[in-house]
Amino acid sequence: MSDAGTQQIIGALPEGRLRRVTAYIESNLHRELRLADLSAVTYMSPYHFARLFKRATGVSPHRFVLQRRIDAATALLADSSYSIKSIARTVGFTTASHFATTFRRMIGVTPTVYRMRTSSRLS
């Protein structure tokens, strides 16, 4: 039986391929992750992959990668020994300003404010 038998949503990316691409994303957050790279992991065309990925996850591949990067950044921000610039690079942003803008858009506060709020809760 093919991957189609394990699909949760009809017409969505098969579970095995979804697991493979999400593991690839997690392992490569620090790198540039292009749609062509992600679709190659699943052996699909970029367009077909993007449609099926969105059906399976509810978000586009780009949005999913951004969410994973921001999730990783929030964990790193709890450790105040890393600079914002270093965290930005670690989670795959080329500049700290792009990171800060994206972080604020998705979380609602800047990375610096998030760090201060997190560290004050831990104290």
Whether pLDDT at 4 is above 60: no
* Residue 8, pLDDT score: 53
Q: Domain 65-118 classified CATH 1.10.10.60?
A: yes
* Average per-residue pLDDT for the chain: 89
Confidence of residue 121 (pLDDT cuts 50, 70, 90): low
Whether pLDDT at 70 is above 90: yes
* Predicted confidence (pLDDT) per residue in 25-49, tens digit: 999 999 999 999 999 999 999 999 9
* Residue 7, pLDDT score: 39
* Residue 6, pLDDT score: 43
Phi, psi of 50 (to 5 degrees): -60, -40
Domain ranges of the chain: 10-59, 65-118
**CB distance 29 to 87 below 8 Å:** no
Least Cα distance to 98 among 66, 60, 75, 63 occurs for 66
